[in-house]
């Protein structure tokens, strides 16, 4: 058996097209501000891709590029100004920040209503309590993919490898909310394969190429590879050995072209969602 490949690029493109049509109905376009500090080449590529996708969708995009030496106070002041700016509905700070920054403090200074990355404690707490606000883009994108592919979740065993705040943990909460039985593995988990082999839905978000091989996948499982690793020869690879895993899985995401494009689509969706919330609030206040 060879798995059906989940085409994240295609699903994301459809979502972006739907968003573009939705945005055309706005009297003023939603605004997204992206702050990038320093010269990290990978971060610059990510920010450029986000800007391009925003513009294509009809979102007003503002990139604020600051030098490495900028002080944390200045970045916080910029964020406070964006929090007050009615033309800006979403604010994103590209990570990683230089070492002299307290990243948590910077992220926490973004207004929860404009926190399109979904990292603010208010949004994290709302997700845990089952009344989500803006949700973290990558796990939210995975949920959309599962929905698009009609993958049943209720009563299934979902195993998540990786327990970061931005992917693994929120992923677990989202799957739990849909009725899955959830196992989360981390770097201390002994005999990882014992857990992954029991997964109906396996999500891997670690950052280590070939961590999960085909013999660690249950026959018929749905395999979602969040990992993005740059190999020595310049190629991009996930955390799952695609060739061996696809012989066991029923559905599998490739890298590139799987989860990555969904993350950007969800950022655009969150920006539109944030703008719609402002609009809904405004119309309630004028009633």
Residue numbers of the site for ligand NAP (CB under 6 A)?
138, 161-164, 166-168, 185-189, 192, 205-208, 211, 226-229, 259-260, 263
User: Least distance in Å: CB of 22 to ligand NAP?
Assistant: 23
User: Least distance in Å: CB of 108 to ligand NAP?
Assistant: 18
User: Least distance in Å: CB of 245 to ligand NAP?
Assistant: 16
User: Least distance in Å: CB of 190 to ligand NAP?
Assistant: 10
DSSP code of residue 179:
T
**Residue nearer to ligand NAP on the CB measure, 19 or 192:** 192
Identify the sign of the CA torsion 131, 119, 266, 227.
Answer: negative
Sheet holding 222-225, edge to edge: 4-5, 251-252, 222-225, 201-204, 157-161, 181-185
**Residue nearer to ligand NAP on the CB measure, 205 or 240:** 205
**Residue nearer to ligand NAP on the CB measure, 19 or 211:** 211
- Does an H or E element contain 170, and which? helix 168-177
Structure tokens at 177: 């909310």
Nearest to residue 92, comparing CAs of 38, 126, 50?
Answer: 50
Cα→Cα distances 104→39, 97, 109, 204, Å = 20, 10, 9, 24
User: Least distance in Å: CB of 92 to ligand NAP?
Assistant: 13
One of 44, 68, 72, 94 is an active-site residue; which one?
94
Structure tokens at 37: 């500090």
Question: For 279, phi and psi rounded to 5 degrees?
Answer: -65, -45
Measure the CA–CA gap between 108 and 83, rounded to whole angstroms: 12
One of 52, 72, 102, 117 is an active-site residue; which one?
117
User: Least distance in Å: CB of 43 to ligand NAP?
Assistant: 12
**Residue nearer to ligand NAP on the CB measure, 30 or 260:** 260
Quick check: is 94 catalytic?
yes
Nearest to residue 259, comparing CAs of 59, 11, 4, 3?
Answer: 11
Measure the CA–CA gap between 38 and 15, rounded to whole angstroms: 31
Measure the CA–CA gap between 8 and 14, rounded to whole angstroms: 10
**Residue nearer to ligand NAP on the CB measure, 83 or 183:** 183
**Residue nearer to ligand NAP on the CB measure, 124 or 185:** 185
Quick check: is 50 catalytic?
yes
Measure the CA–CA gap between 39 and 36, rounded to whole angstroms: 9
- Which residues are marked as active site? 50, 94, 117
């Amino acid at each position: 058996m060879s798995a059906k490949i989940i085409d994240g690029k295609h699903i994301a493109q459809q979502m972006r097209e739907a968003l573009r049509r939705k945005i055309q109905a706005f009297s003023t376009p939603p605004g997204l501000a992206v702050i990038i500090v320093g010269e990290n080449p990978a971060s610059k590529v990510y920010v450029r891709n986000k800007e391009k996708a925003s513009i294509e969708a009809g979102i007003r995009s503002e990139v604020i590029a600051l030098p490495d030496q900028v002080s944390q106070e200045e970045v916080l002041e910029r964020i406070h100004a964006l929090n007050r700016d009615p033309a800006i509905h979403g604010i994103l700070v590209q990570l990683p920040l230089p070492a002299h920054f307290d990243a948590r403090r910077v992220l926490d200074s973004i207004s929860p209503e404009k926190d399109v990355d979904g990292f603010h404690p208010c949004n994290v707490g709302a997700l845990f309590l089952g009344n989500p606000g803006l949700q973290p883009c990558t796990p939210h994108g995975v949920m959309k993919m599962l929905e698009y592919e009609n993958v049943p979740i209720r009563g299934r065993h979902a195993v998540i490898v990786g327990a970061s705040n931005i992917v693994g943990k929120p992923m677990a909460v989202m799957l739990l909310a849909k009725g899955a039985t959830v196992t989360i593995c981390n770097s201390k988990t002994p005999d990882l394969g014992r857990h992954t082999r029991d997964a109906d839905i396996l999500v891997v978000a670690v950052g280590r190429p070939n961590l999960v091989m085909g013999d660690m996948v249950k026959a018929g499982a749905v395999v979602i590879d969040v990992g993005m690793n740059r190999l020595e020869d310049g190629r991009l690879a996930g955390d799952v050995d695609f060739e061996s895993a696809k012989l066991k899985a029923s559905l599998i995401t490739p890298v590139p072209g799987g989860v990555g494009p969904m993350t950007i689509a969800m950022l655009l969706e969150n920006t539109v969602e944030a703008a719609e919330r402002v609009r809904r609030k405004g119309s309630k206040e004028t009633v």
